[in-house]
Amino acid sequence: MNEKILKAKPGIPMLILFIALYLVAVGLIILGAILLDSSSDWGAIPFVVGLLWSILGIIPFCGLKLIQPQEALVLTLFGKYIGTLKEAGFFYVNPFSSAINPAYKTQLGQSSDVSGSGNAQAQAASKKISLKVMTLNNYKQKVNDVLGNPVEIGIAVMWRVVDTAKAVFNVDNFKEYLSLQCDSAVRNIVRIYPYDVSPGIDTTGDGKPDEGSLRGSSSVVAERIRNEIQEKVENAGIEIIEARITYLAYAPEIAAAMLQRQQASAIIAARTMIVDGAVGMVEMALEKLNEKDIVKLDEERKAAMVSNLLVVLCGNRDAQPIVNSGSLY
């Protein structure tokens, strides 16, 4: 079902007319009472007409609708969709029409559903649909990455309603529908990526290993999640403006082990750099000693010197040298 914009009558002239009719009804009741007191045969007619209008005259007031900027009101008449009021202002519609918004009581902890907000409660009570850009902070969920490691991830989705008819009539509750599709999209995309870069993993689907990861390619992952959600909520009249990853971490049961793994990797990388530098320094020292002919060392003494230099350069603590004041041998 596609959205149909309803052209309604201005509300101010109709309000003035209904108030004037009410005043006329009050006047007829008073006139009829006076005529009845004077025993006139015509006194009952104005009295009954005024009394009936004073009772039934409240019905036209139900057709007065106030629409704020960036709000919409979906109206049906006896079960048939007649249109949507989108223009801000004060309007008059058929008093027997009813507003439809199945999600007006749903609160997902998003920008328009903040607990304790008077404006949000007033909007919910009026069954109006907000057309503003809203942010849905979806709950953190535990998902296994492509390597089977459980990770916790949370996303924030910026969205808005662009077709009120689809949002109201195509799905049961468009807010809950959006939240469920966000959960599904996160699971579908996260299971494609590893948490950190891993060799031999294809995250793009082209059959070639790449360096994609949840931590290193967060913007790419978020864009793929946005596209996935948009494809699912197209039939609900919702536009996904942006999706962002707000929380990403290993699950608590493996977080400690993964931290030790990262620390071990860092230590190995640091030690590798230290050893490479130490070997270069030892090589340079031997070349300098040989070039300047400072001292002649046989292979055994060279091995001892190399061992001592490597211990000094690669050790975690400051070396404590022993000075030999006698012969070299």
The rounded distance, in Å, linking the Cα atoms of 188 and 185 is 5
CB 12 within 8 A of CB 90: yes
Please give the structure tokens belonging to residue 75: 């109206």
Distance, in Å, from the CA atom of 130 to the CA atom of 103, rounded to the nearest integer, reads 11
- Which residue reads 């211990």 in tokens? 311
Q: For residue 242, give the 3-state DSSP assignment.
A: strand
Q: Any residues with CB less than 8 A from the CB of 320 and at least 6 apart, and which? A: none
Spatial separation of the C-alpha atoms in residues 127 and 99, rounded to whole Å: 6
Q: Per-residue DSSP letters for 261-282?
A: HHHHHHHHHHHHHHHHHHHHHH
Task: Tell whether the torsion through CA atoms of 115, 121, 127 and 130 is positive or negative.
Answer: negative
3-state secondary structure of 312: helix
Name the pTM for this structure: 0.71
pLDDT by residue, tens only, the chain of 329 residues:
788 998 888 999 999 999 999 889 888 888 888 877 776 666 678 888 888 888 888 899 999 999 999 999 999 999 899 999 999 999 999 999 999 998 888 877 655 554 444 444 444 446 899 999 999 987 788 898 888 888 999 999 999 999 999 999 999 999 999 999 999 999 999 999 998 888 888 888 888 888 888 888 889 999 999 999 999 999 999 999 999 999 988 888 776 766 766 677 777 777 778 777 778 877 787 777 777 777 666 677 777 777 777 776 676 666 666 655 555 55
Query: What are the E-state strand segments in 88-237?
Result: 89-92, 98-99, 129-130, 134-137, 141-144, 150-161
Across the strands, what pairs with 65? 91
Q: What is the DSSP letter of 140?
A: P
Nearest to 133 by CA among 223, 238, 51, 48: 238
Please report the pLDDT score of residue 230 as a whole number.
Answer: 96
DSSP letter, residue 128? P
Amino acid at 197: V
* Integer angstrom CA distances of residue 115 from 105, 125, 174: 12, 14, 19
pLDDT attached to residue 313: 66
Q: What is the 8-class DSSP label of residue 132?
A: S
Residue 99 and residue 65: Cα distance in Å, rounded? 10
Rg (CA), the chain: 39
Q: In the prediction, which pLDDT does 116 show?
A: 42
CB atoms within 10 A of CB 205: 7
Tokens in use for 249?
A: 């971490």
CA-to-CA distance for 304 and 295, rounded, in angstroms? Answer: 14
In contact, 161 and 130? CB cutoff 8 Å: yes
Three-class SS of residue 123?
helix
